[in-house]
Amino acid sequence: MDLTVEHAYKVGRFLGWYYGQKTPGERCRVVIGKDTRRSSYMFEYSLVSGLTASGADVFLLHVTTTPSVSYVVRTEGFHCGIMISASHNPYYDNGIKVINERGEKLEESVITKIEQYLDGEMEEIPLAKRDAIGRTVDFAAGRNRYIGYLISIATRSFKNMKVALDCANGSASAIAKNVFDALGAQTFVMNNEPNGLNINTDCGSTHIEYLQKFVVEQGCDAGFAYDGDADRCIAVDSEGNVVDGDRILYICGKYMKEQGSLFSNTVVTTIMSNFGLYKAFDREGISYEKTAVGDKYVYENMAATGNCLGGEQSGHIIFSKHATTGDGILTSLKVMEVVLEKKQSLAKLASEVEIYPQVLKNVRVKDKNAAQEDEKVQEEVRRVTEALGTDGRILLRSSGTEPVVRVMVEAADMETCEKYVDQVIAVMKDQAFAFNTKRLIVMYMKNCCRGAICFPVISVIQEPGKGEMD
Catalytic sites, residue numbers: 87
**Where are the strands (E) in 204-349, listed by range?**
222-226, 233-237, 242-243, 266-270, 287-291, 309-311, 317-319
Q: Are 33 and 81 in contact (CB under 8 A)?
A: yes
| Of 356, 357, 463, 363, nearest in space to 422 by CA | 363
| Of 272, 267, 270, nearest in space to 257 by CA | 267
Provide CB contacts within 8 A for 89, sequence distance 6+.
200, 228
Rounded to 5 degrees, φ, ψ at 434 are: -90, 145
CA distance 46 to 362: 39
Distances (CA, A) of 157 to 181, 278, 328, 340, 392: 10, 32, 19, 9, 41
| Of 296, 295, 297, 322, nearest in space to 308 by CA | 322
| Of 277, 453, 253, nearest in space to 352 by CA | 277
CA distance 281 to 233: 21
Q: What is the dihedral of CA 273, 278, 284, 287, to 10 degrees?
A: 90
* 136-138 and 57-63 strand pairing: parallel
